[in-house]
Amino acid sequence: MPMSSSAKDAARPNRGRAAGPANRAALLAAAREVFGEQGLSAPLSAVARRAGVGQGSLYRHFPTRTALAAAV
């Protein structure tokens, strides 16, 4: 039987602030890939998904699409 999304989340520990620098780096790498494939109008949810983080993490580091694009 496949795991529910809440069961998957429970299986993945929350690293809190320690994950911040790694999440930021993953978001930048994912944004380069996604923007390169789909352009700057690509859904930011696709960037977060590719980075393996939640959308909240994306917006914590980059509050706007412009901020993310400028950092890339």
Domains annotated for the chain, with CATH where assigned, are 19-71 (1.10.10.60)
Q: Classify residue 65 by burial, with Cβ atoms within 10 Å: 0-12, 13-18, 19+.
A: middle
Q: Do the beta carbons of residue 30 and residue 51 sit within 8 Å?
A: yes
pTM as predicted: 0.76
Q: What is the pLDDT along the chain (72 residues), one digit of tens a residue?
A: 555 555 555 556 666 776 778 999 999 999 999 999 999 999 999 999 999 999 999 999 999 999 999 999
Q: Classify residue 51 by burial, with Cβ atoms within 10 Å: 0-12, 13-18, 19+.
A: buried
